[in-house]
């Protein structure tokens, strides 16, 4: 567990227990595959932000528990589907559901987990904004993923295209997570709007950092092969920056656009990117989004949770996995 989650350690344990209950079904295959995914771990960032957001107004763990659980189920569902699309065999250093049970089972498990989240969200009839935000967010997540697939190996993608995509595929759910815990507790707009802006800044920084780590992280620490995005033709921010400024940008364009790259070509492409200053420029943008997130926190009540969320934002930009 991350250090700044200590304030909500008890509540996160409740979420973990609830997740275990939710994935247990009379069908042994459903239970086995869902439990495998659950035991693979994760940062539990989305339920944690939901709990922290709720701390700003009439905090009630029992009221938040179904929502925090649903947010992690939505995230888990997207990971299973991503692993099918990306043909990923490992995640967090462990075999994916796709690797162990194949594409068909994985696709249905992802859909199943998403459907389970809907059952939990339906409990919040008294707060219709929760279902409205999560429905809209889910649609946008799908749009972001489709855009990513459609633009595979397209070296003409722009900086704006990239931001549009990561906003939808990652940042919007993290923003909703920070916002909706407070909404579930009856908080006013003056509380849940700044929380949404905080979550959005953290979410954008989180995805950009992910894309940087795909180029430069220690493979064992990251828990998956380095350069996965480049192999799949996903054009991330370091690639966009390098295509704009690298001395060997013509060669890089050729390598990035090539559907099948051998290991030497992969290493050549990564070397061009890392030597171009693109990693440093990408980290600069991470810093800007983290600063935006911290600015939004200043609009919230000055309670200890505000400092904790500031530390969480710093972690997103400094993490190595």
User: Does residue 311 carry a pLDDT above 60?
Assistant: yes
Cα(12)–Cα(46) distance, integer angstroms: 11
Report pLDDT for 224. Answer: 67
Confidence band, pLDDT 50/70/90 cuts, at residue 285: very high
What is the three-class DSSP state of 35?
helix
Nearest Cα residue to 227 out of 201, 193, 265, 190: 265
Residue 289 in contact with residue 204, Cβ under 8 Å? yes
pLDDT the model gives residue 221? 65
- Distance (Å, whole) CA 70 – CA 1: 20
Structure tokens at 86: 């990306």
Per-residue pLDDT reduced to its tens digit, 225-257: 788 899 999 999 999 999 999 999 999 999 999
Residues 137-145: what's their mean pLDDT?
A: 95
Give pLDDT tens digits for 6-49: 899 999 999 999 999 998 889 899 899 999 888 887 889 999 99
Secondary structure class of 94 (helix, strand, coil): strand
Q: Average pLDDT, stretch 271-279?
A: 96
Strands 94-95 and 90-91: antiparallel
Closest C-alpha among 46, 25, 50 to residue 35: 25
Question: What is the reported pLDDT for 55?
Answer: 97
First to last CA, the chain: 14
Query: What was the pLDDT predicted at 129?
Result: 97
Q: Is 70 helix (H, G, I), strand (E, B) or coil?
A: helix
- CA distances in angstroms from 129 to 113, 124, 179, 310, listed in the order given: 22, 9, 10, 26
Q: Is the pLDDT of residue 273 over 60?
A: yes
Higher pLDDT, 217 or 275: 275
pLDDT tens digits along 192-217: 999 999 999 999 999 999 999 999 98
């Amino acid at each position: 567990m991350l250090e700044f989650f200590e304030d909500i350690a008890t509540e996160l344990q409740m979420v973990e227990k609830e997740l275990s209950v939710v994935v247990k079904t009379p069908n042994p295959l459903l239970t086995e595959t869902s439990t495998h995914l659950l035991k693979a771990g994760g940062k539990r960032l989305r339920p944690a932000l939901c709990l922290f957001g709720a701390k700003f107004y009439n905090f009630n763990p029992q009221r938040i528990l179904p929502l925090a659980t649903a947010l992690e189920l939505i995230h888990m569902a997207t990971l299973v589907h991503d692993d099918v699309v990306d043909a990923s065999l490992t995640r967090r250093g462990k075999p994916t559901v796709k690797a162990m049970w194949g594409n068909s089972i994985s696709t249905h498990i992802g859909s199943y987990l998403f459907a389970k989240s809907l059952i939990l969200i339906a409990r919040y009839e008294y707060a219709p904004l929760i279902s409205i935000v999560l429905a809209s967010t889910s649609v946008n997540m799908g749009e972001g993923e489709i855009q990513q697939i459609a633009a595979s190996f397209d070296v003409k993608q722009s900086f704006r295209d990239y931001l549009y995509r990561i906003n939808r595929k990652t940042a919007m759910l993290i923003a909703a997570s920070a916002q909706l815990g407070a909404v579930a507790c009856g908080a006013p707009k003056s509380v849940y709007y700044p929380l949404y802006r905080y979550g959005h800044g953290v979410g954008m920084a989180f995805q950009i950092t992910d894309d940087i780590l795909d180029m430069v992280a220690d493979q064992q620490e990251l828990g998956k092969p380095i350069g996965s995005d480049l192999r799949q033709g996903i054009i991330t921010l370091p690639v966009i920056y390098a295509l704009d400024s690298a001395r060997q940008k013509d060669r890089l364009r050729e390598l990035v656009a090539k559907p099948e790259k051998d290991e030497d070509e992969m290493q050549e492409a990564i070397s061009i990117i890392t030597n171009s200053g693109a990693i440093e420029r990408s980290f600069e943008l991470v810093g800007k989004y983290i600063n935006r997130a911290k600015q939004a926190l200043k609009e919230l009540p000055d309670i200890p949770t505000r400092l904790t969320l500031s530390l969480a934002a710093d972690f997103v930009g400094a993490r190595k996995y």
